[in-house]
């Protein structure tokens, strides 16, 4: 868990008893490397996708079902020729 610290008058960091998760830390929050990496992962999950990513997602979501339909339609037409 992070540690709330402030900058003292003599230039040193002074730890406070205020928990940083309450949002009432008036100074800086020191975190461990693991906590920092976890916060970056969470931030990247909710990041706005780029235009290229949105285009790729739309293309995949549209072309994959359309291609599957067209292949199934062609296979069904070929099979129906042999059933007649």
Q: Model pTM?
A: 0.45
Predicted confidence (pLDDT) at residue 17 exceeds the cutoff of 90: no
Domains of the chain, residue spans: 3-45, 49-84
> Which pairing describes strands 13-15 and 3-7: parallel, antiparallel, or unpaired?
antiparallel
Bridge partners (DSSP) of residue 5 are 15, 28
Spell out the residues 6+ positions from residue 6 whose beta carbon is closer than 8 angstroms to its own. Answer: 13, 14, 16, 26, 27, 28
Closest CA to 33 of 9, 4, 2: 2
> Which pairing describes strands 28-30 and 13-15: parallel, antiparallel, or unpaired?
unpaired
Asked whether 31 and 39 are in contact (CB, 8 A), the reply is yes
pLDDT band at 25 (very low <50, low <70, confident <90, very high): confident
38-82 pLDDT, tens digit each:
888 888 888 899 999 999 999 899 999 999 999 999 999 999 998
């Amino acid at each position: 868990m992070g540690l709330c610290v402030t900058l003292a008058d003599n230039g040193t960091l002074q730890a406070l008893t205020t928990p940083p998760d309450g949002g009432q830390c008036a100074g800086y929050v020191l975190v461990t490397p693991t906590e920092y990496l976890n916060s970056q992962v969470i931030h990247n999950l909710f990041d706005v996708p780029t235009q290229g990513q949105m285009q790729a997602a739309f293309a995949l979501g549209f072309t994959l079902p359309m291609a599957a339909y067209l292949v199934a339609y062609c296979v069904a037409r070929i099979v129906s020729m042999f059933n007649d």
